[in-house]
Amino acid sequence: MNPDLETTSSPITPSAASSAEFHEGTEGPPRGARAAAVIRWVLVTCMAGAAGLSVFSSLHVDSVHAEEALYSCPMHPEIRSAVPGRCPICGMDLVARKRPGSSAPASVPSDPASGPAKTEGVSEPPLATTATVASSPRDPKAAAYSCPMHPEVTSDHPGSCPICGMFLTPTAPAPSSAKVSKTKPKAKLALPTMDRAPLMLSMDRAQLLGVRSRPVERKKMASEVRASGTLEIAEDLAYRVDARFEGWVEELTVSRAGERVERGQTLVGIFSPELLAAQEELLAARHHNSPELLEAARRRLDFSGVAPEEIKRIEAQGKASRIIPVRAPASGIVLEKRVALGQRIERGARLFDIADLSRLYAVFDVPESEADALQVGSVGRVSFPTRGRGEVAGRVIRVGPRADRSARTLPATIELDNSSGTLIPGLSVRVQVRGREVEALVVDRESVLTTGEDSYVFVDEGHGRYSARRVLIGRRSGPSVEIEGLSEGTLVVTTGAFLLDSESRLESLSGGNGR
C-alpha cells in the first residue's frame, strides 16, 4: 500500500459514540431567555405600582376637598362649597355640615361681607345676611330673631334663614300680666313680623303719597255682631200627637203633610176593643147608679186619651162609640204624617207632628269674644240671602245657655213674627245685632293695618315724621274701630297708611333711620 494513503484509526468508545449522535424533537431555550423573562416581570410590577399610586393620589385629593367642603345644599347634596353661599340650582342657602373628625356642627357665619360661595365653578349672586344655626341653648332675650319654619335658627339681628331662605321674625316677649276689662279690646299684643323704621317725609312727598291724618277720638260706640244661622220652629209652638191606646185606623181626615188644622179638629178615628170595653163599663156603672164605679170608668177613659167632651157625649147617648176620634191639640201646620188608613197602631205610636208657625226663631252662634256685646232685648235684623227678600226685625230673647267648647261660640236666638206665613223653617239667614253702647277710643278702620295677630297704625309725630305703633283692636261699628295703645288726640294716618307701611318696610331693610 502507499504509505501516503494510509489512514490511522483509533478505537471508538461507547461514550464517544453516544455524544456524537443527533436527537430529534424540541430544541432548548435560546441563550438569555431567562434573563428577558425576569426583566419583563419587573416592568409589569413597576407599571402596576404606578397605577396604584395614581389612584391613591386621586382619592386623597378628593378626601382633602371633601374635608374643605363644609357647606352643601339641603336639596342638592352634590353642591358643596368651602364658604357660605347659595345653591345654583334651587337658590337655597348652603347649610353647614359636620366637619370631619369633629363632633359639633360648624356654624354659618352671619357676616354678610363673606361674599358669595363658589360651588363647582358656578358663580353665585351675593348672599343675603344669614343667621347662625344655634347648637346650644341661648338667652331668649339675646336671640331676638328666629326662623318661623326652623326655630333652631336664631340671630341677634334681622336676616334670612340659611335653610329655607325665609326672613327671620322677631321673637315674642314674655306675656304681660296686665288684664283687659270687658269694655276694652280683646286682641292680644304681638310683635310685628318685621321691624318698621320711622319715616321722614317732605311735604311734597307726603302730598304725593296722599297722606292724611285724623286725631284719635273718644266717643260712644255700639258694636255690631254679624253671624249666619237658620230659621227654626219655636219650641213652645211645636206639638206631637201620639196614640194612647191600641187599635186600627178607620177614619183619616188629614191626607198629607203641609195641611193646616185647627184646634179640636178630628185628625184620625181609631177602633179600639180596649176602649169599647171601657165604655161598656162606664154605661154599666151609670145604669147601676154606682158613683165609685162610674168615677173609675171615667178616669180609665180619660187616661186612655178620650177627651172629656167625648166621655160626656157617650154618657148622654147611653151607647158606646165604636170609633174614638183623635183631635188636634192646637192650630197649626201638619209637618209630618205617620199614619195610614187601615193601619194597626200600638200604644205610644207617633201619629202627627204639628207646629204653629206664627212665630219663628233665628238661631245663630256668636264667638265668645263678642258675646258680651249681646244682651236680651237687643234689636236684630235678619236677612235671607237665598230668597233675595228684605230684612225682618226681631229681638234677642236668649243668649246661651251653654257654650260650644270646641268652636268657642255661644248660641243666640232672635224671635221673628211670621203671622203672614211667608217664612219657612230651615231657611239660612244672616243676622246683624247692634250691641250695647260703650265709651271708647276710636279711629277709622282704614287707619289700622293688620299682619297676622299684630295690628298697628302710623302716628303723625309732626314735622314730616311718621312712626308705626302697635295697638289692640276691639269692637267695630260702621267705619270706626275701638283701639287701645294710644291716647286721645294723637294724630293717626287715615289715608295713605298702606303706602307708608311699604316705605317703612323698605327703610327697615335698608337699615336707614328715615328719609
Residue range 327-336, pLDDT digits in tens: 999 999 999 9
Angstrom distance (rounded) from CA 167 to CA 179 = 32
Mean pLDDT of 103-126: 41
**Model pLDDT for residues 13-61, shown as the tens digit of each residue:** 444 444 444 445 556 666 667 777 778 888 888 888 888 777 666 655 4
H-assigned helices in 78-209? 203-209
The kind and range of the H/E element at 469 are strand 465-470
In degrees and rounded to multiples of 5, residue 497 shows phi and psi of: -65, -35
Helix then strand then coil, in percent of the chain rounded to 5, is 25, 35, 45
DSSP state of 119: B
Amino acid 287: pLDDT: 84
* Percent share of the chain, pLDDT over 70: 74
- pLDDT surpasses 80 at 395: yes
Q: Any residues with CB less than 8 A from the CB of 370 and at least 6 apart, and which?
A: 223, 225, 435
The angle, 0 to 180 degrees and rounded to 10, between the axes of the packed helices 308-317 and 273-287 is 60
Amino acid 196: pLDDT: 66
Amino acid 150: pLDDT: 73
Mean pLDDT of 198-209: 81
Amino acid 187: pLDDT: 39
User: Do residues 154 and 143 lie in contact, with contact meaning Cβ atoms separated by under 8 Å?
Assistant: yes
Select, from the ranges 119-123, 218-222, 386-390, the one with the highest average predicted confidence (pLDDT): 218-222
Amino acid 388: pLDDT: 67
Amino acid 510: pLDDT: 60
Beta strands in 272-406 (DSSP E): 323-327, 332-337, 344-345, 350-355, 359-367, 379-384, 389-399
Average pLDDT, the chain: 76
318: number of Cβ within 10 Å: 9
Residues 19-29 as b/e (b if ≥16 CB within 10 A, e otherwise) read eeeeeeeeeee
User: Do residues 443 and 214 lie in contact, with contact meaning Cβ atoms separated by under 8 Å?
Assistant: yes
| HSE (side-chain half, CA atoms, 13 Å) at 164 | 11
Angstrom distance (rounded) from CA 507 to CA 95 = 29
Amino acid 430: pLDDT: 93
pLDDT, greater one: 152 or 493: 493
- pLDDT surpasses 60 at 128: no
In angstroms, the Cα distances linking 237 to 335, 338, 405 are 12, 20, 29
Angstrom distance (rounded) from CA 87 to CA 85 = 7
pTM summary value: 0.48
Sorted by where each starts, the structural domains of the chain and their CATH numbers stand as 83-171 (no CATH), 199-222+438-510 (2.40.420.20), 225-235+357-437 (2.40.30.170), 241-354 (2.40.50.100)
